[in-house]
Amino acid sequence: MKQVLMLVVKLQPTKEQEQILDSTMVAFASACNSINQTVNPKLTNRNSIQAIC
Cut 0.85: pTM above it:
no
Give alpha helix (H) positions in the chain: 15-38, 46-52
What are the tens digits of pLDDT across the range 2-47? 999 999 999 999 999 999 999 999 999 999 999 889 898 888 888 9
- pLDDT given at position 49: 85
Burial class (CB in 10 A: 0-12, 13-18, 19+), 53: exposed
Pick left, alpha or beta for residue 10 (phi over 0 → left; psi -120 to 50 → alpha; otherwise beta): beta
Handedness of CA 49, 29, 21, 7 (dihedral sign): negative
